[in-house]
Amino acid sequence: MPAPARFTLWIKSAQALALAVAVCFSLGATDANSRFTNLNHRLMCTCGCAEILGECNHVGCPNSSGELEELRTGMAAGKSDKEILDGFVGKYGAVVLAAPTTQGFDLVAWIAPFAVFLAALLGTILLIRRWTAVMPPAETLATDPATDALKERIRRETDSEGGY
């Protein structure tokens, strides 16, 4: 099979796979129960347990049942997800959101982990370059009589035939 035909076949297969994945993820996406689950997993319980609202399971939680009912009421009223979340933020504050927003100072919470990772990676690269620049070349170590004598002594004392 010629190369262009193989490439076209590969592209068609990738498109079919992408379509299959999209269909699988969109099944049930309009279901009210899945919407309720999605929304209650985007909110935090306000009782102080640091649990997601849909997962708050400590005995006698004074807040979770009322907040879940408030969520059901908002959905029954036909509010959009954004309106419901904005209502919770207006009533309980921004701490009710399980993830920070992507606006204003909250954007730092999304950017900071990547920035710290890149800074650590850059620091590691610079440190390794500095170490390799300071190390003497391997040829000088191999021809140094003191090093050779030390290796021979180690070999005699350990009775090994190591590859030194």
Q: What is the pLDDT of residues 89-145, one digit of tens each?
A: 999 888 898 888 778 888 888 899 999 999 999 999 999 998 888 766 666 655 677
Query: Domain containing 86 — which CATH number?
Result: 1.10.8.640
Burial class (CB in 10 A: 0-12, 13-18, 19+), 30: exposed
- Number of domains forming the structure of the chain: 2
So what's the pLDDT on residue 56?
Answer: 85
Instruction: Give me the domain span that covers residue 128.
Output: 106-158
Q: Does residue 163 fall inside a structural domain?
A: no
Examine the domain organization and report whether 126 and 149 are in the same domain.
yes
52 three-state secondary structure: strand
Cβ neighbourhood burial of 67 (10 Å; 0-12, 13-18, 19+)? buried
Q: Which of 102, 131, 148 is the last residue of a domain?
A: 102
State pLDDT tens for residues 8-57.
777 887 787 777 776 656 655 556 788 899 999 999 988 888 888 888 88
Q: Is 156 helix (H, G, I), strand (E, B) or coil?
A: helix
Residue with the larger pLDDT of the pair 47 and 148: 47
pTM for the whole thing?
0.52
Q: Are 75 and 35 in contact (CB under 8 A)?
A: yes
